[in-house]
Structure 1
Amino acid sequence: MTEVTEPQPPTPAASGRAATIYDVALVAGVSHQTVSRFLTGFPGIRPETRARVEAALVELDYQPNLSARSLKSGRPHRIGALVHDETETGPSLTAHGATMEARESGYLLDLISLDAHDRDSIEKTLALIGPNSLAGVLALASTDEMVRAFDAARFTTPAFVHTEADDTRLAKTDVSRVGIPALIAHLRDLGHRRVAHVSGPANWSSGRNRARAFAAAVDELGLAHAGELPGDWSARSGFEALAGLEALPDATAYVVANDQMAIGTILALKRRGLRVPGDVSVVGIDDLPESAYIDPPLTTLRVDHAARGREAVASLIGQIEGVAPRPVHIEIPHVVVRESSGPAPAHR
């Protein structure tokens, strides 16, 4: 006799639909009530059953229905994230980390883009944010204008302002406290004694911090500060900082406040007939994915921006839920040595 098998319903992946608790229950071999109890944190589930449900959730990439969760708990599960300058490495990676942390914690992050330099437009945007649809507000503030606007705002939901404090309160994971001294020590060990800086914009706390950290580390390590050239984080500004000078600083190395400006700096030096690193070394900060593939590959400081975004969201969710925030590991900035830094030239 030929055995007849019942047709199986298509899997969520095959049908293109999102997985439900019924799909999870089927894969885990439990009832949908058990899956529901698991998702609501019910403690009385046997360890072996819990393990099967967890495995099924991962296999099906189950995403909770935020509307249903909000109705059940009586509070929304959406976070409004006030972001800016998404084309810049630090803000974009911080926002990405924040998005990932929110999603993994059962929240949806809505990105609201601001003009980081226009306080009036920032304040108008804040006035439009409705309190009833958001569980909280995450403000990613890099400029003085943003910090002042957020300080004056009256948030009607839990809010967390993520900003880099001026360097009196920096932590051991910060670029300025440990990263820039390590970068300059790398140049010192290569024999460089006169070092110049291409700085970020002065209305960004990170720009000020990096400039101050550069000056302090140069002094502490016994090197000579050969000058500071202003930039605005863009590759264009790194190029123009040097291209328009009648004479270059008397430096054998440049510490540039981010990788994008370092790319422009290298091009400007080459256009002036200098070899990098034969005549002058250049180092950056951030470790862009492209930095390993420019000519020459850029020595830079690797910074864990995404973890900072995760930490900010974890702190905000702690406020929302009235619990201690989930600890987030932030990698200490460290130097990635490539070909743009080399021994100081003997003739200089």
Structure 2
Amino acid sequence: MTETQPSVQRAATIYDVARAAGVSHATVTRLLKGYPGIRPETRDRVTEAIRELGYRPNLNARSLTTGRSHRIAALTHDITQVGPSKILEGANIAARDAGYFLDVITLDAHDPAAIRESIDLALQFDLAGVLALSSTDEVTHALETATFRVPHYLATGHDKLPTDSTPGVNGLLAVLRHLADLGHRDVVHIAGPPGWVGARNRTREYEAAVVELGLRSRGVIHGDWSARSGYEAIATLPEQLPATAFVAANDQTALGVILALNERGHRVPDDVSVTGVDDMPEAAYFSPPLTTLRLDFAAQGRDAVEQLLALVDGGAPPPLPARRPELIVRRSTGPVRPRE
């Protein structure tokens, strides 16, 4: 008995689209290039054929025809972290929607020489531009001192949270106000690493909010974004906790905080409240589900691509829109319990 080999479906071509729409391939080409003068009914037939056939333009062929590359190099790092990975995901979708292919190059955030080598490697290709996504001081310095031969956009920081200079849109102000409304007065911040822009922003926001709301900060403990660092931060505290609420710099840190508190016999939220930042997909399934600050990282990635493509087209980047964080209240926060 002869086994039949599975057939491999051929990708649709511009000629397939033309045949399905009942037009010439030249008409399809004109429509894809945005030429005016195509009758609405013809445009509708071609658009429907493109959708049904799943046609995708051949970017290499387009580059040969137009003399313009449709590839973007995205330089990034620490993509195991929620912020950088979601920013990259948003950038990838935005580039694809604009007709560009995103080449992702992951940098060694602690090796400036390796960063320069990665940039040199990227520039060996025919690129429309370079999108540099940086979250740390080390990477930002390496990118700012690099030489690019194509348009490039440097997006510094993995979030765009306001600093203490704009307390009216301070994301952590909403978190601290929520805790204050529950009766909490003594709080501790489990911060991210100081070399990260986002960590410094969040610490400044926390400190500004404490002052504005008349709360008492019982300390800022720096971690490294990991659940382990949140767990270890609680281990440094005395048995009699100095605060009734812990404000973690991200959700993963909050996860470690909750476990450490539970192991020490403190119930969350009956005895102590815990909050995070990011609203990672798993946050709603923590035990208990985590109260957190939702950040639109994907929108930041889209914004970065829009900035770069404006430079590629020879124009000025548009103003960046304000991205306001959203407080998501779940069951890890509750009314303060009077101390015995």
TM-score (norm 2): 0.91
| 1:19 aligns to 2:28 (yes or no) | no
| 1:123 aligns to 2:121 (yes or no) | no
Separation in structure 2 between the aligned mates of residue 175 and residue 307 of structure 1, nearest angstrom: 22
| 1:97 aligns to 2:83 (yes or no) | no
1:162-181, CA deviations, whole angstroms, 9 ceiling, x for partnerless residues? Answer: 11399997699x99943111
Residue in structure 1 matching 2:47, options 36, 47, 54: 54
Residue in structure 1 matching 2:35, options 38, 42, 66: 42
Task: Structure 1: give runs of 5+ residues left out of the alignment.
Answer: 1-13
1:248 CA drift (Å): 5.8
> What is the aligned partner in structure 2 of residue 231 from structure 1?
223
Residue in structure 2 matching 1:200, options 185, 192, 197: 192
Separation in structure 1 between the aligned mates of residue 158 and residue 91 of structure 2, nearest angstrom: 19
Separation in structure 2 between the aligned mates of residue 327 and residue 57 of structure 1, nearest angstrom: 33
| 1:251 aligns to 2:233 (yes or no) | no
| 1:271 aligns to 2:263 (yes or no) | yes
Separation in structure 1 between the aligned mates of residue 30 and residue 292 of structure 2, nearest angstrom: 49
1:324 CA drift (Å): 5.8
Residue in structure 2 matching 1:307, options 296, 299, 312: 299
Separation in structure 2 between the aligned mates of residue 117 and residue 98 of structure 1, nearest angstrom: 24
Letter in 1 for 2:177: A
> What is the aligned partner in structure 2 of residue 290 from structure 1?
282
Distance 1:342 1:29, change over 3 A: farther
* Cα pair 1:80 1:111 within 8 Å, conserved: yes
Residue in structure 2 matching 1:140, options 111, 133, 149: 133
Distance 1:92 1:228, change over 3 A: same
1:213-258, CA deviations, whole angstroms, 9 ceiling, x for partnerless residues? Answer: 1000111011111111111011111111112434465111111110
1:116-167, CA deviations, whole angstroms, 9 ceiling, x for partnerless residues? Answer: 2222321222233325511111110100001111111111010000113999
1:90-133, CA deviations, whole angstroms, 9 ceiling, x for partnerless residues? Answer: 00000000100111111100000011222232122223332551
1:281 CA drift (Å): 0.4
Task: Structure 2: give runs of 5+ residues left out of the alignment.
Answer: 1-6
1:204 CA drift (Å): 0.4
Aligned-residue identity in percent: 54
Distance 1:43 1:325, change over 3 A: farther
> What is the aligned partner in structure 2 of residue 83 from structure 1?
76
| 1:163 aligns to 2:165 (yes or no) | no
* Cα pair 2:161 2:170 within 8 Å, conserved: no
1:56-84, CA deviations, whole angstroms, 9 ceiling, x for partnerless residues? Answer: 32333321101111101112111110011
Letter in 1 for 2:144: D
> What is the aligned partner in structure 1 of residue 145 from structure 2?
152
1:260-307, CA deviations, whole angstroms, 9 ceiling, x for partnerless residues? Answer: 111011001111110000000001000011111110000111110011
Count of matched residue positions in the alignment of Structure 1 and Structure 2: 334
Report the aligned-residue RMSD: 2.6
Letter in 2 for 1:320: V
Separation in structure 1 between the aligned mates of residue 231 and residue 212 of structure 2, nearest angstrom: 29
Separation in structure 1 between the aligned mates of residue 333 and residue 82 of structure 2, nearest angstrom: 22
Distance 1:248 1:289, change over 3 A: farther
1:195 CA drift (Å): 1.1
Separation in structure 1 between the aligned mates of residue 168 and residue 234 of structure 2, nearest angstrom: 24
Separation in structure 2 between the aligned mates of residue 107 and residue 59 of structure 1, nearest angstrom: 21
Letter in 1 for 2:299: A
* Cα pair 2:161 2:201 within 8 Å, conserved: no
1:304-336, CA deviations, whole angstroms, 9 ceiling, x for partnerless residues? Answer: 001100110111111112246588877521111
| Mean Cα deviation higher: 100-109 or 128-137 | 128-137
Separation in structure 1 between the aligned mates of residue 50 and residue 221 of structure 2, nearest angstrom: 53
